[in-house]
Amino acid sequence: MKLTKSEEQLMNIIWEKEKAFMKDILEAIPEPKPAATTVATLLKRMVDKGFVGFNTYGNSREYYPLVQKSDYFSKHIKGLIKSYFGNSVSQFASFFTAEANLSKDELEELKRIVDEQLKDKKQ
């Protein structure tokens, strides 16, 4: 299941804060802020989708993530690679390195990461 752009914005706040009440979420949203009812609706949808849980304290709810950011990001990237690059990670990497206008230092860092992964795979 995927989040909408607005839901992702809220999810990023919840991931950052780890636990947040509605007032905390509203404070963290940049201007122009949506209405509190809009945020409540988005949070309800995120709960229904299984991305967010909550604890109730009187009339207040404290929201927390049920999905880790790295898991969501990984699934999102894998879907992107499957949809746009024929499920070829090497085609994605080629496109990314060509189109991202990476500096020499950034390319060297990517090379270091790949070399480290290769070393780990050999062991």
- In this predicted model, what pLDDT tens digit does every residue of 60-103 receive, in sequence order? 999 999 999 999 999 889 988 999 999 998 899 888 888 888 89
**CB atoms closer than 10 angstroms to residue 107:** 12
Sketch the domain layout of the chain as residue ranges. 5-65, 69-122
The mean pLDDT value for 54-58 works out to: 96
At 123 the pLDDT is 75
Main-chain phi, psi angles of 19, to 5 degrees: -145, 135
Query: 5-65 has which CATH code?
Result: 1.10.10.10
Query: What is the rounded CA–CA span in Å between residue 36 and residue 33?
Result: 9
> What tokens were used for 3?
């989040």
Check the CA dihedral 2-48-52-63 and report its sign: positive
